[in-house]
Amino acid sequence: MSLHRAALGSSFSTAFVTGASSGLGRAFCAMLLEEGVTVWGTARDPARLTGPWAGPGTFLPVRLDLRDSPGSEAAFAVAAEAAGGSFDLVIHNAGYGVFGAFETVPATTWIEQLETMLLTTLRLNHAALARFRRRDPARGTLVNVSSLAVEFPLPFMSGYNVAKSGLSALSESLIFETRGSGVTVIDFRPGDYRTSFNQAMSVHASPADPALQPYWRALETNLEASPGPELAARDLRRALARGRSGTVRSGGFFQSRLAPWLAGLAPQSWRRAAQTRYFGGR
Ligand SMILES: NC(=O)c1ccc[n+]([C@@H]2O[C@H](COP(=O)([O-])OP(=O)(O)OC[C@H]3O[C@@H](n4cnc5c(N)ncnc54)[C@H](OP(=O)(O)O)[C@@H]3O)[C@@H](O)[C@H]2O)c1
């Protein structure tokens, strides 16, 4: 533990984490607080951010709703000013799922998901990077929490798959643009983690619908059987300690290591067939 603390402590004294009230975001905050970092953590309702938060770092709650773009940018700016003009580390983690057949879910629901998870997050990336660049010398670390859904799209979650693919494309663009600048960009792609993600999911399907039921069951079973979010925090801590831009896959061995490796060898049609079976379809 002291090794990790020595590795992170000198590089990060302040951090901003969206979606700190639950799951991965809460575990990231706990890990950073353990490292002595001052963390501004967000939720739509700050009442969900009450502790206990263990030190030696300090936790500062921020109200932020990604559905409100100007409000999110304003909340970020206020916190960044309080942190001295810029954070050392910004983690864009907040997100949610929508489950349902593409054509039966209202188009406005998909659009709202993209505006929330992709466009507002893009604006917050913009604000964070501009502040990193203004430092002399430029420095800071940006983490976008994407998903292995970029490589293995989740069934009947089209808006989510698009949002995460867009976010990873943004990270890849920024990795290129920030080479040699003192800014680090991490495209963090978790596999399944046991969080409140499925409970928070907006479900637009009847549980009895035979076309969707096996897929929903598979999503539930996979999440229940998955590791706790502390593993994701451990993987992120390792990536932060390395201090290099890049893609980080995190999760159980099969999802985060074996499946991407095998998928790289197989033709697309095999990948699709294997994935359909994995999710209980035919
Ligand atoms: N769990 C997994 O298996 C998994 C796998 C791959 C990727 N991910 C990604 O990891 C991230 C965290 O998910 P999780 O699994 O930890 O789920 P979670 O336990 O449901 O946490 C989601 C977090 O996002 C926040 N949030 C949701 N909608 C928001 C909005 N409109 N504005 C601001 N904050 C909002 C929630 O805060 P409030 O509701 O309190 O506002 C909460 O803190 C997400 O981006 C998710 O897509 C998760």
Q: How confident is the model at residue 156 (pLDDT cuts 50, 70, 90)?
A: very high
* Percentage, residues of the chain above pLDDT 70: 97
How many domains, the chain? 1
pLDDT for res 10: 76
Mean pLDDT of 136-151: 97
Q: Distance between CA atoms of 267 and 34, rounded to whole angstroms? A: 44
Q: Give the range of the structural domain holding residue 196, as residue numbers without chain letter.
A: 2-278
| Mutation test residue for ligand 1: of 193, 198, 226, 254, the one with most atoms within 8 Å of CB | 193
Question: Which residues neighbour 191 within 8 Å (Cβ) at sequence distance 6 or greater?
Answer: 148, 226, 249, 250, 251, 252, 255, 256
> How close is the Cα of 93 to the center of ligand 1, in Å?
7
pLDDT for res 88: 98
Q: How confident is the model at residue 159 (pLDDT cuts 50, 70, 90)?
A: very high
Query: Does residue 94's CB lie within 6 angstroms of at least one atom of ligand 1?
Result: yes
Mean pLDDT of 36-63: 95
Q: How confident is the model at residue 176 (pLDDT cuts 50, 70, 90)?
A: very high
215: annotated active-site residue: no
Number of the ligand 1 atom closest to the C-alpha atom of 94: 24
* 15-24, 136-145, 273-282: range with lowest mean pLDDT: 273-282
Mean pLDDT of 39-44: 98
Which residue in the list 160, 193, 215, 278 is annotated as catalytic? 160
CATH number at residue 40: 3.40.50.720
| Mutation test residue for ligand 1: of 197, 222, 247, 254, the one with most atoms within 8 Å of CB | 197
Cα 266 off chain centre by = 27
Question: Among 82, 84, 88, 77, which residue's Cα sits nearest to residue 139?
Answer: 88
Please report, for residues 29, 33, 106, 257, the alpha-carbon distance to residue 52 in angstroms, rounded to integers and kept in the order given. 12, 12, 39, 34
Contact 144, 246 (CB under 8 A): no
pLDDT of 160 over the 90 cut: yes
pLDDT of 138 over the 90 cut: yes
pLDDT for res 5: 46
> How close is the Cα of 24 to the center of ligand 1, in Å?
7
- The residue written with tokens 């998901």 in the block is 113
* Average pLDDT along the chain: 94
> How close is the Cα of 163 to the center of ligand 1, in Å?
13
> How close is the Cα of 233 to the center of ligand 1, in Å?
14
* Percentage, residues of the chain above pLDDT 90: 83
Mean pLDDT of 235-251: 97
> What pLDDT, in 10s, does the model give residues 250-261?
999 989 999 899
Q: How confident is the model at residue 1 (pLDDT cuts 50, 70, 90)?
A: very low
